[in-house]
Amino acid sequence: MQDFYAAVQHLNEKFSQYLTHHHIIAQRQITPVFQPIISLRDHTIYGYESLSRISHCGNITNPEELFEKARLYGMTVQIERLCREKALDRVVELGLEGMIFLNVCPALLYAENHQRGFTAQLLNKLGIDSSRVVFELTEKSLINDYEQALPLFDAAVDVWLF
C-alpha cells in the first residue's frame, strides 16, 4: 500500500510541474533580460543576447529546468515561441540597437506543431530588420546527424522556420 501512495505522490508532483509550465505559458510569465555583446575591436556594444527568466514564484525558478521540463511535457514549441515574442517585444520597448541574438532549440526544426515563418511575421509586425537577428542554436537538444540537419538549417533561414 505504501508503494501505491508513493506512486500517487510522484504523479501529483509531475502533474503539478505540468500545470506550472502550462501556467507560465498561459500567463506569459517569462521576462527577457539582455546581455550585451561587446566588440573587442572598438569596445562598443555590438548587440545583445536575449536570455529568458521566469517571472513567477513557483516550483520552477531555473530557466534550464523550465526548458528541460518543457521538452519532457511536449511544450518546447510553446516555450520557445513565448520567449522569442517577449524578447523581441522588449527589444522594441527598450529601443535596443545592434544585433539581436536569440537562442533557439534545434528540436524546433523537427517539430510538427511549430508555425513556419513565425519569427519573420513577428519581426515585420514589430518593425525589426531581419538582418539584425542571429539565431544561436542551444545545447538543449543534441544534433545527432549534422549532414541531415544542415539542409534543415538552410531551409530554416530561407523560410524563417524559427
CATH code, domain carrying 103? 3.20.20.450
Nearest to 83 by CA among 99, 70, 73: 70
Give the number of residues written for the chain.
Answer: 162
Could you tell me the residue range of the domain that residue 109 belongs to?
2-159
> What is the average per-residue pLDDT within 70-83?
88
**Is the pLDDT confidence value at 122 over 80?**
yes
Q: Please tell me the predicted confidence (pLDDT) of residue 114.
A: 67
Instruction: Report long-range pairs for 3-9 (Cβ below 8 Å, ≥24 apart).
Output: none
Q: Please tell me the predicted confidence (pLDDT) of residue 61.
A: 75
**Is the pLDDT confidence value at 108 over 80?**
no
Distance CA 13, CA 142 (A): 27
Q: Please tell me the predicted confidence (pLDDT) of residue 146.
A: 60
Distance CA 39, CA 35 (A): 13
- pLDDT tens sequence across 14-69: 767 777 787 888 889 999 999 999 999 999 999 999 999 988 766 777 888 888 88
Q: How many independent structural domains does the chain possess? A: 1
